[in-house]
Amino acid sequence: MEIDQHYRALSVETFSQRLGEVEAVASRVGGEPARWDIREVGDGNLNLVFIVSGDVGSVVVKQALPYVRMVGESWPLPIYRAHFEYYALVRQAKRAPGIAPEVYYFDKPQALFVMEYLHPHTILRRKLIAGERVAQLGETIGQFCARTAFRGSELSLSSPEKKQDVGLFSGNVAIPAITESLVFTDPYYAAEMNHHTPELSPVVDELRRNARLKAKVQRLLMKFTANTETMLHGDLHSGSIMATDTDVRVIDPEFSQYGPMAFDLGMAVANFLMAYFSQPAHRQESELAAYQTWILDVIEACFTSFDAEFRHLWQTERTGVLFPKALFEEQGNSADDACDALLDEIRLDALAYCGIEMHRRVLSLAHNADFEEIEDPALRAKLEARNVLMGQALIMEPEAYGDLSALMELAKAYSQREVL
Amino acid sequence: MEIDQHYRALSVETFSQRLGEVEAVASRVGGEPARWDIREVGDGNLNLVFIVSGDVGSVVVKQALPYVRMVGESWPLPIYRAHFEYYALVRQAKRAPGIAPEVYYFDKPQALFVMEYLHPHTILRRKLIAGERVAQLGETIGQFCARTAFRGSELSLSSPEKKQDVGLFSGNVAIPAITESLVFTDPYYAAEMNHHTPELSPVVDELRRNARLKAKVQRLLMKFTANTETMLHGDLHSGSIMATDTDVRVIDPEFSQYGPMAFDLGMAVANFLMAYFSQPAHRQESELAAYQTWILDVIEACFTSFDAEFRHLWQTERTGVLFPKALFEEQGNSADDACDALLDEIRLDALAYCGIEMHRRVLSLAHNADFEEIEDPALRAKLEARNVLMGQALIMEPEAYGDLSALMELAKAYSQREVL
Ligand SMILES: Nc1ncnc2c1ncn2[C@@H]1O[C@H](COP(=O)(O)OP(=O)(O)OP(=O)(O)O)[C@@H](O)[C@H]1O
Ligand SMILES: Nc1ncnc2c1ncn2[C@@H]1O[C@H](COP(=O)(O)OP(=O)(O)OP(=O)(O)O)[C@@H](O)[C@H]1O
Ligand SMILES: [Mg+2]
Ligand SMILES: [Mg+2]
């Protein structure tokens, strides 16, 4: 891994000296750089994130570190991943305006960029654990997924434009390998960095003995590694969504790559389902049912608005290589059936990707707070087991749950099941 | 399109002056460069191809022209495609040794490379028209497709290695667009450069009204454009195969790109089937049945040896990201079922790609001599019609012909059918 010799990690101490004269920062923060309020808030696992405030306003600065922050220098990770996060943010802004933070400045050798400070937004995962509601959550995420999926694909783009962009993103060579092992492979054997709630072991052991399941997951991995249908966010979990009561934004496309259209949608829904299954540990009995119902409504809205937006774009913006109007509309043939067939395929793959994400978050390296913060291991294992088994059902037989009411019934059934 | 300022097209006159001092050429050709025998044999549509002979031996030099040779300077085409042809030849030599011509020398700015002179090999398409047999033809092509498919995929490669190579080949930005339109889209509407036998029009018109067919073809195009499963030859027709009675070689991977594993296999089989359907125009009645039977045997051997070789590599060389042994063999689970399931998928996609190639060769720009050299238009149309309709059946319902005996029966049935 080559690092630009001028690369230096930022610190609170050196910050205003190093970025004080960058116009994109100075004009938005305002006042004397020496008096800026600088906080490092990177609660994440990988990068430095600073919030800088001054007389005029605030901006956020994100810089890649040459190693995995939560592990240390023993796990190196190329800083060029920040370049791709920047490229992804720029493309998302064009393809699904208003959702990603606006980018003000990009310094390639320093692997850093400056972006819009989202305020008073907080991380969606925290809201879901706290029992807060967000208006239009499912609609916004479904629409975001549809817009980025469609407009990043050859349904919209010309062939050379798309191939060039795939070539660019192929340069992000180290990142896909992380998703490939942490998400798709590690959950299904005793990989070194895995951990899980000990009480969950009987369920885990059985899952890992399911050879047909593992084959299905690997077939989906094959699509994930190779099928460059569109530019993905790549890590669209509830920790990558920031929201107020009424505004939904998506951050952190650091794992962006070209991949299957269904992937982001499936991952987002998985995180809603994990919020759903973990609720009994976070809610009073009196609020539980209503809040869980709200989460299921979010999931339904997410799928429904994905389809509606995708269909709308299919009809109004199909200007790319694929399903050209010259073959359909211009010959008096509707292409609507083809759109519906493609949406059916995307739905099934999304459900299967959803199941995989549900597994890796309780079996692999990176768990999520929804379950992780449940202190009683017996309760945690019980709720995780429901989640793991529903994930298995989605991978084994997605075609049984393509109908959204069947999906909702499945979630409700597992949320009552006494597994452990 | 940028051309290196030093690029100059070779000519018979300038050849020995320009390449006389290149050791890789001089040592293999031998003698005085001024006395070399230099013939330009590019019977193809795109490039300059020279055979150079001297006291010691012969080599072949291929150089890209900055436009489509058969059309002229009005259709520019980037010369960097020769770089990718070279990259592909090098990879094929490693992944399926002994099939592609050996490369001796590569001059990047001149977009040329020097390779092994295949002799006394001739183009397979000519042999098939002449009624010649080639031993091990289907076996060799099936094995070549399996080896390149498997070893160019993440069943074999590491994730970073594969992504890097996909990135490299994404630089061949103008080439995939040609396959995409000429093969997948133009056949199904009255595209500007199309032509077909006038007597075939009733069949063509009906084909172009089949909206379900067009949707299926576009779905396969979507896989072709995006699904970078392995490095393809990309143009594996019988004009890209050279053979003697007993030796089979594959040339001209100029349309190489990463794409679906099934594509090369399907295209090769389509060209065997077109040879099959065109035979009544080229054979005496007395030889016809036996020769057609031989072609069907070639097709069967091609599929069978693809499967056998792929399965063998699956068991012995599965060292990549996908279906890792850690999930299967090392946990006491066989991965053989997963291999069979993947081979079934590849078979069906290959049959559908086969059907598409059968269409484009009689409906789009680049026809093939098997049909084109039939002088009687009524006979040509009759034989082309059988070919078009069998192609349609393969696209519409590949699952009905995954069984090879059903496929053979289908070919025989169409070869008797009076369509026009
Ligand atoms: N544009 C923004 N506006 C406000 N807060 C932000 C913004 N970007 C990031 N943050 C805050 O910083 C935190 C870390 O950001 P981010 O998730 O992008 O970092 P990361 O190092 O990539 O972490 P992860 O381990 O989640 O990948 C976020 O959880 C959020 O609280
Ligand atoms: N290595 C070789 N040994 C012997 N003959 C060769 C070799 N390579 C090419 N040829 C001859 O030159 C002809 C043109 O080569 P090739 O098909 O590679 O050119 P092209 O310009 O790419 O044509 P196409 O239009 O088929 O793409 C071949 O049909 C074959 O007769
Ligand atoms: Mg991140
Ligand atoms: Mg060629």
Burial label for A137, CB within 10 Å (0-12, 13-18, 19+), is buried
Give pairs for B102-107: CB < 8 Å, separation 24+: B104/B24, B104/B25, B104/B28, B104/B59, B105/B22, B105/B24, B105/B25, B107/B22
Mutate to test the interface with A, among B153, B161, B163 (most CBs of A within 10 A): B163
- For the record, the structure tokens of B138 come out as 């289907």
DSSP state at residue A101? P
CATH number of the domain located at residue range(s) A122-416 in this protein: 3.90.1200.10
C-alpha B347 – ligand 2 centre gap (Å): 29
Question: pLDDT, tens digit, for every residue of B2-16?
Answer: 567 889 999 999 999
User: Over the stretch B264-305, which tens digit does the pLDDT of each residue have?
Assistant: 999 999 999 999 999 999 999 999 999 999 999 999 999 999
pLDDT at residue A385, as a whole number: 98
State the number of CA atoms in the 13 A half-sphere of A397 facing the CB. 9
pLDDT of res. B244:
98
Are the C-beta atoms of A395 and A213 separated by less than 8 Å?
yes
Q: B394 falls in which pLDDT band (50, 70, 90)? A: very high
| A210 phi and psi angles, rounded to 5 deg | -85, 90
Q: Is B24 on the interface with A (CB under 8 A)?
A: no
Over residues A155-160, mean pLDDT: 96
Residue B26 Cα, gap to closest chain A Cα (Å): 37
- Token pair recorded at residue A350: 């999304």
Q: How confident is the model at residue A44 (pLDDT cuts 50, 70, 90)?
A: low
Is pLDDT above 90 for A69?
no
Name the minimum distance, in Å, from the CA of B125 to any CA of chain A: 31
On chain B, the residues whose CB falls within 8 A of the CB of A209 are 331, 333
Mean pLDDT, rounded, of chain B:
96
Measured over the CA atoms of residue A237, residue A243, residue A247 and residue A251, the dihedral's sign is negative
Inform me whether the C-beta atom of residue A229 falls under 8 Å from chain B C-beta atoms. Answer: yes
Counting from 1 in the atom list of ligand 2, the atom nearest the Cα of B101 is 1
A115 Cβ contact list (under 8 Å, min separation 6): A59, A60, A61, A62, A89, A101, A102, A103, A104
Structure tokens at B356: 């598409």
- Which of these, A383, A82, A391, lies nearest to A217 by C-alpha position? A391
Angle (CA) A147 A153 A156, round 5°: 80
**How far, CA to CA in Å, does B390 sit from each of B238, B307, B384?**
19, 23, 10
Domain covering A15-116 in this structure, CATH number: 3.30.200.20
Q: Does A74 touch chain B (CB under 8 A)?
A: no
pLDDT per residue as tens digits for the range B333-376 = 999 999 999 999 999 999 999 999 999 999 999 999 999 999 99
CA A224 to chain centre: 14
DSSP 3-state of A47:
strand
Helix (H, G, I), strand (E, B) or coil at A259: strand
Q: What is the pLDDT of residue B75?
A: 87
- Tell me the H-state helices in A96-180: 124-130, 137-151, 159-170, 175-179
* Cβ neighbours around B194 below 10 Å, total: 16
Please give the single-letter amino acid code of residue B94.
K
- Residue of A230, A237, A271, A249 whose CA lies nearest to A140: A249
Mean pLDDT of A286-304: 98
pLDDT in tens, A334-353: 999 999 999 999 999 999 99
Residue B16: what pLDDT? Answer: 93
| Segment holding B130, helix H or strand E | helix B124-130
Secondary structure percentages of chain A, helix, strand, coil, to 5: 55, 10, 35
Contact: B172, A159; criterion CB under 8 Å: no
- In the stretch 137-156 of chain A, residues with CB closer than 8 A to chain B read 153-154
pLDDT of residue A293 exceeding 70, the answer is yes
Asked if residue A410 lies in contact with residue A401, where contact means CB atoms within 8 angstroms, the answer is yes
DSSP of B191-257: -TT----GGGHHHHHHHHH-HHHHHHHHHHHHHHHHB--EE--S--SGGGEEE-SS-EEE---TT--
3-state secondary structure B334-381: CCHHHHHHHHHHHHHHHHHHHHHHHHHHHHCCCCCHHHHCCCCHHHHH
Residues of B whose CB is below 8 A from A1: none
Task: Extract the tokens encoding B299.
Answer: 């097709």
Nearest to A176 among B163, B229, B335 (CB): B163
Domains B15-116 and B122-416 share a fold: no
Is the beta carbon of B123 within 6 A of some atom in ligand 2?
A: yes
**Closest partner CB to B167 (pick from A171, A209, A223):** A171
Chain mean pLDDT for chain A: 96
The residue whose CA has the least distance to atom 1 of ligand 2 is B117
Amino acid symbol at A164: Q
- Nearest CB to B322: which of A222, A229, A337? A222
Give the gap in angstroms from C-alpha A123 to the nearest C-alpha of chain B: 31
Which of B87, B154, B322, B339 to mutate against chain A (most A CBs within 10 Å)? Answer: B322
Ligand located closest to A103 CA: 1
Cα B79 to Cα B67: distance, rounded to the nearest angstrom: 8
pLDDT in tens, B74-124: 889 999 999 999 999 999 999 999 999 999 999 999 999 999 999 999 999
Q: Do A225 and B324 touch (CB under 8 A)?
A: no
Q: What is d(CA A255, CA A172) in angstroms, rounded to the nearest whole number? A: 9
Domain spans in chain B, listed from the N-terminal domain onward: 15-116, 122-416
For A291, residues 6+ apart whose C-beta sits below 8 A from its C-beta are A131, A133, A279, A283
Q: Determine the Cα–Cα distance for residues B38 and B51; give it in Å rounded to an integer.
A: 6
Determine the distance separating the centroid of ligand 3 and the alpha carbon of B332, expressed in angstroms.
36
Is residue B254 lining ligand 2, measured as CB closer than 6 Å?
yes
- Contact criterion met (CB < 8 Å) for A327 and B164: no
pTM of the model: 0.97
Please indicate if any CB of chain B lies within 8 Å of the CB of A325: no
Structure letter (DSSP) for residue A185: I
A335 contacts on B by Cβ (under 8 Å): 211, 215
Give the tokens for residue A68: 């995995």
